[in-house]
Structure 1
Amino acid sequence: MTRILCISLSPIRRDARVLRQIGILRALGDVVTVGYGDQPDGVVEHIRVPDGSLSLPQTLGGVMKLALRRFDSVELTAPGVAYALGQLRGREFDLVVANDARVLGLAFAVAGDAPVWADMHEWAPEERTHVLSWRLLVAPFMVHLCRKYLPRAAVMTTVGGEIAKLYHRDFGVRPQVMRNAAPFEDLSPTAVQPNRIRLVHSGGAVHGRNLETMIDAVKLLDARFTLDMYLVPAADGGKYLRSLRDRAAGDPRIVFHDPVPPAMLPATLNAYDVGVFWIPPVHTNARLTLPNKLFDFVQGRLALAIGPTVEMERLVREYGLGVVSTGFDARSCADSLRSLTAEQIMAFKDASDANAERLSFEHEGAAAVAMLLPLLAAP
């Protein structure tokens, strides 16, 4: 039986893209995963990296080597990477999947003669450039990993066309685009009430995603509008989420809910009218994002309200899915919603319904299988 190794130094059970990827791989062979947290469903083995084992070389020695640009010497020394390497030594696989640049060295170290699929979830050189230490120490390391390993990958994917262009420009590779589309859900749009517009947002409570603007925008809107938020606390211990709750305090139209599992999300969203996400272009990945939640909103058969974000705006306008604000401030976001009628929102929801199959992961997954089959068939 074909043996496939899937490496993702993330909590895989909460990582929607990796879970969908595993679904593809399971149709091709037995899947062994490496990552944080409990074993994902459907894999034959999971190598659980200890939660405290970091995915980057952030020890004192590692930081010194990053500062001295001794990148080759730290590729395999991050605690999480070193642990995984120790568990994988001597094992053979027919395909190795590397999720994100930080595990490229590990993937090639264990692959041997097996092909490597490099799946870059975003633009790796600017993953966290809003953090000074990351920008000075880690970003050059990400560039090193991409420059060294991406041209050696048998296949490479990334999340959108604009980011694919950046990888080609800087590293000479031609990634295939595999968008963060959600699996198709057999749902229908729910009716829009004449005097109530139910806004909803789901995702991580992470700084930089402009979630406070959603709250401020609703406060500028009339009583027809409500906002429900399904937020996953960030690694800050929930500090940012608590600040959002404080900001919304006193407005009964804004309600916070516990997050729901990815498989349950479209059905949960289906009860609402408009999925909202206004993320400012604070860095390249934000400027070019085409996130999971956009496709979750489509599968939930919602209208969409977004900011003028390049890839998102292109998709929303192409399929007639909703409205695009002129800016990312609260007033611009509120203005894009204020004049909406129940009839207009219903038309947008119907457009999501009409395009749900076209914008589902089944289309992305079929292309990925076609990409991988020749690799597994090769001697």
Structure 2
Amino acid sequence: MDILKQIADELKLRQTQVEAAVALLDDGKTVPFIARYRKEQTGSLDDQTLHTLSDRLNYLRKLEERKQEICDAIAAQEKLTPELEKAISAAQTLVEAEDLYRPFKQKRKTKASVAKARGLQPLADLLMAQDHKTDPEKEAEVFVNEELEVPDTAAALSGASDIIAETVSDDADLRKRLRNVLSLRGSLTVKAVDPDEDSVYRNYYDHSEPVERAAKHRILAVNRGEKEGYLKVTITMPEGLGEQIVTKTYVKNQSPSGQIVEAAALEAYKKSLLPAVQREVRAALTEAASEQAITVFASNLRQLLLQPPMKGMITLGLDPGFRTGCKVAVVDPTGKVLATDVVYITANSAQAVAGG
């Protein structure tokens, strides 16, 4: 990935501007310093653009570093295929990269890992094939083993179901699809912890709106209400839609094996997939709302700072500078800018001549 080109495209800047700004940032220069004293190098990028550029640069570098770590970890397990490596390289976010790594991550002891250790992976694979001719009970008899703590066919089928559920839960493409559907068609649902208790959040005691159209200020408001213990906030999927997506992805038919796969897939959706994507969508909403709040605050502060400095008087403002000269601005009694210029009050003789 060409990070500098991507940033230039996203921020609609010339690549030379991005290259110059990145070089200065990498050299340890701060955003305020670059915005004020290195305008000639960056093409007069302001501090807001530079902050956005810096944040995006750090994120993309972290993403590239993490993708390399993931590839190295999977390669160490000798499971890195060209297709998987290509998918990891194409990941646009850390969440997508982690989803791809999830099936290969060293997990704590889980029901599925215990079932695999008991030799039940082949039974899970057989059930996933969902052949109409397969009799799950009969096939499970082969895997009954007292020494491996598989006392009967029910235990064998239960272990195989755990393996299937983890497979469904670790499906990166399925997670991405559910996340997108929840973002586009889900609802932000808010309920009161105690409907009888009065608070400033009463307007949200029984509130619901589409996630896609949820106002940023309301997201921050319900977050505060939840933190203070007045509200319960959830991101809800349209009734039955998530289950439908999961079953269409994994269930081929209603054979005995297919019914076991369906039950395991729905269990994975309920206990793992849905809570995970709900957390991710909620976090994305909060991040976007917080960024907008900062932007609004900055705009309001700008208007405050641009108020007339002295009532009824024309005012001259001076921003001292040596190498690049002193910036001068004149505003009328209403705050309207009358004139701006650069003067060399501290100029050497050559600059003084050049500046007239």
**Both structures adopt the same fold (TM-score exceeding 0.5):** no
Q: Of Structure 1 and Structure 2, which has the larger fraction of its residues in strand?
A: 1
Structure with bigger helix share is 2
Task: Using structure 1 for the length normalisation, give the TM-score.
Answer: 0.23
Higher relative contact order (CA 8 A, sep 6+): 1
